[in-house]
Amino acid sequence: MDGEGVRQALLVAPSYDHAEYLGAESLGIRSVAATLLDEGARVTVVDECPAEPPAEVLRMAGQSSLIGIGALFTRQIPDALALARTFRSVSPDAHITIGGQGSYSLWPRMLEECEALNSACLNEAEETVSELWRHVIAGESPASVRGMYLRLGGELLFTGPRAPTEDLDALPLPFRGGREIAYADSHVTLCTSRGCAAHCSFCQSGNYANRHPGAPRWRYRSAEHVVDEIEHLQQAYGARMFSIVDDDFLGGDGRGIQRAQDFARLVRTRGLDIRFAIECRISELEAALLTTLRDVGLRHVLIGVEAANDADLRLYAKRTTPQQAAEAIALLRKSDIEYSVGFIMFQPLSDLGGIRTNLDFLLANNVGSYRRVVNRLEVYPGSPLIGYFRRKQVHFREESYRMYYDFQDPRVALLYEAFVKLLKPFEELESTAARAIFRLRAEEGPAELHALRRLTEVTENITRALLATAYRCLQVAESGGVPADDKRIVAYAAGRVDELRNVLSP
């Protein structure tokens, strides 16, 4: 650090793997940043920081008393640890801590593997980091700060659990500094609730990372608090399009429905002209509520279908049925709301029969995308699914905090390879159409609505062509062939892609 009494904090999120995830601002560390600002700290936030940070970030690290690294995804951990080591080289006296949903259950391991780290924050970190900050700038041991694993005297100390914040309205709004250029397209993300009432076995957030004894499984900000933030973001940044990134905007019970209705009423009363997207469970969708929300700007809903065959639905603990999923999709179409579906086509024990059932569902409802159709179950270190699969003789290889596995059925392995190879060109078409729809949604005048209808039809044709290609691959795999090498499928896919690309061209 440059001298005594420096009161600066640096919060960093490692870069995302864009082959798997879309990049976004790091709302978790930005919420922590807001609490530090309330403590009087000077705070800098860096989203998507590369493992070899630029000189300006290193300069800020050298001036910081506290450096926090947030890993939303487990696969970010190797880069997060690399950043910790680099920051330690330029800031030998700073307290460096790590946290985030992706680090769940891995806290001691990260500290053991990376001596540059002083601590790891468990679960939600706003109150923990605020208290940690006070100890750091006072030069005191943070051993009394609950909610951490701490390196102390050569040993690792668990400081005890910290209850999550139940009154989310009491937290300051996330710090948005440095995002002005990113907000130039009027699109902003925000979080209005935490947790999920579901028990999906594959999910870090709902199944185990957001479980706190004695606390509600779903905690939420009031409708008024959320609309206040939207109004602020409109005034400060000109934001009109909002992606609400809650795991479940509707919460799983009557509280969430009432809050959504209150939200719509406030948006209407204040005359806010916005467009927004949400995520929720298929069992929560109601026609009247969708109509109410669409009237005040709801334009997209992400629903988690995940599978259509019984074996996978039981494995994922979805507690929903394909019929419910089909009804939810039909309801969204009838409500004139765009949607996307979460889907996990492959898992270690997949068989061709289960994949056929999955594809039959997608074809019947004309839903799916490249990323969904090739999606294979990701099993996280610490996940309860690991024990189940090991009992089924699935062998995992761990590398850089990622769990790798082979499919037990070699025909499924061949089918997966074919999907990745032959369906990949459709992703470019999907992205082109999605970007165009995003631009048109910003205005929604008569000309834009006409163009939207045309693009929606093109998007549906892209989905049909992708699924038809996938089905051809499945048929070849079922007959014992190698679908990736089937010249008829290769020619069919290439022809459809060229045809649809021409339709999308200006």
| Whether 20 and 132 share a structural domain | yes
Alpha helices in 221-336 (DSSP H): 223-237, 254-269, 287-295, 310-315, 322-334
| Whether 175 and 133 share a structural domain | no
| CA–CA dist 76, 170 (Å, integer) | 30
DSSP 453: H
Q: Is the residue at 107 inside a domain?
A: yes
| Whether 154 and 172 share a structural domain | no
pLDDT for residue 506: 64
Out of 381, 407, 433, pick the residue that ends a domain.
407
Q: Is the residue at 430 inside a domain?
A: no
C-beta contacts of 490-494 below 8 A and 24+ residues apart: 490/422, 492/468, 493/422, 493/423, 493/425, 493/426, 493/465, 493/469, 494/425
| Whether 214 and 331 share a structural domain | yes
Please, are residues 347 and 396 in contact by the beta-carbon 8 Å criterion?
A: no
Out of 103, 132, 158, pick the residue that ends a domain.
158
Q: How many distinct structural domains can be found in the chain?
A: 2
Per residue of the chain (506 residues), give pLDDT as tens: 444 455 899 999 998 766 666 656 789 999 999 999 999 999 999 999 999 999 999 999 999 999 999 998 888 999 999 999 999 999 999 999 999 988 888 999 999 999 999 999 998 999 999 999 999 999 999 999 999 999 998 899 999 999 889 899 999 999 998 887 788 888 999 999 998 888 888 887 655 445 666 778 889 999 999 999 999 999 999 999 999 999 999 998 889 999 999 999 999 999 999 999 999 999 999 999 999 999 999 999 999 999 999 999 999 999 999 999 999 999 999 999 999 999 999 999 999 999 999 999 999 999 999 999 999 999 988 777 899 999 999 999 999 889 999 999 999 999 999 999 999 999 999 999 988 888 787 777 888 888 888 888 999 999 999 999 999 999 999 999 999 999 999 999 999 999 999 998 86
For position 198, which CATH number holds?
A: 3.20.20.70
Please, are residues 257 and 225 in contact by the beta-carbon 8 Å criterion?
A: no
| Whether 75 and 202 share a structural domain | no
pLDDT for residue 2: 43
Q: Is the residue at 352 inside a domain?
A: yes
Q: Is the residue at 495 inside a domain?
A: no
pLDDT for residue 197: 84
3-state helix, strand, coil in the chain (%, to 5): 50, 15, 35
| Whether 23 and 145 share a structural domain | yes
87-109 burial, b at 16+ Cβ within 10 Å, e below that, comes to bbebbeebbbbbbbbbbbebbeb
pLDDT for residue 206: 56
Q: Is the residue at 247 inside a domain?
A: yes
Sign of CA dihedral 45, 47, 51, 52: negative
- HSE-CB of 250 using CA atoms within 13 angstroms: 21
| Whether 267 and 358 share a structural domain | yes
Q: Is the residue at 121 inside a domain?
A: yes
| Whether 66 and 121 share a structural domain | yes
For position 88, which CATH number holds?
A: 3.40.50.280
In the numeric block, which tokens belong to residue 429? 């078409």
pLDDT for residue 144: 97
Q: Is the residue at 443 inside a domain?
A: no
Q: What is the pTM of this model?
A: 0.92
| Whether 144 and 175 share a structural domain | no
Q: Is the residue at 470 inside a domain?
A: no
Tell me how many degrees the CA angle 44-167-159 measures, rounded to the nearest 5: 65
| Whether 333 and 307 share a structural domain | yes
Out of 407, 434, 458, pick the residue that ends a domain.
407
pLDDT for residue 445: 80
Please, are residues 46 and 104 in contact by the beta-carbon 8 Å criterion?
A: no
Tell me which residue range forms the domain holding 329: 168-407
pLDDT for residue 73: 87
| Whether 253 and 122 share a structural domain | no
pLDDT for residue 201: 87
| Whether 154 and 177 share a structural domain | no
pLDDT for residue 131: 98
